[in-house]
Each structure stands twice: as structure tokens, then as C-alpha cells.
Amino acid sequence: MTTIVPQCELTRKAVKWVSEKVQETGRPWNELLEQAAMQFNLSPRDVEFLERFFRENGVSVSSDNS
């Protein structure tokens, strides 16, 4: 049986995934958005939300990776 996940839950999972990948890999969040969009089947509007979320919250690669 297939479980239907609400779109807002997929967006939440994408935020968590991108945040974790930034910490794990040191890659900038903007490089990970396209991959997250495909993995979580996000709409263009959801991707715009993610861009705005990460930009406004100042998520960045830690200075240890510089």
C-alpha cells in the first residue's frame, strides 16, 4: 500500500536533508537544492521557499571547512 505524504511534510524533510548535507559535505545549500527538489518531488514554489528559508536564516557552511 502506498502512503501519501502531504507536500508540507516533504518540504520539511527537504529542509532537514539540505541542512544535514551542508554539515556533512560542506557544500553550499544552493548547490543541494536541485538534488533535494528531485529527491522530494518539490514544486518550483517549494524550491523558492527553500531558497528564501536558507537565505533568511543564514545557513552556511561552517568556518572549519574554509
CA pair distance 28, 61, nearest whole angstrom: 6
pLDDT 10s per residue in the chain (66 long)? 556 556 788 899 999 999 999 999 999 998 899 999 999 999 999 999 999 999 988 765 443 443
Domain borders along the chain are 17-59
First to last CA, the chain: 46
* pTM value surpassing 0.85: no
> Alpha carbon 30 to chain centroid distance?
8
Please give the backbone phi and psi of residue 17, each rounded to the nearest 5 degrees, phi first.
-65, -50
Alpha-carbon distance values, 37 to 8, 20, 32 (Å): 13, 15, 9
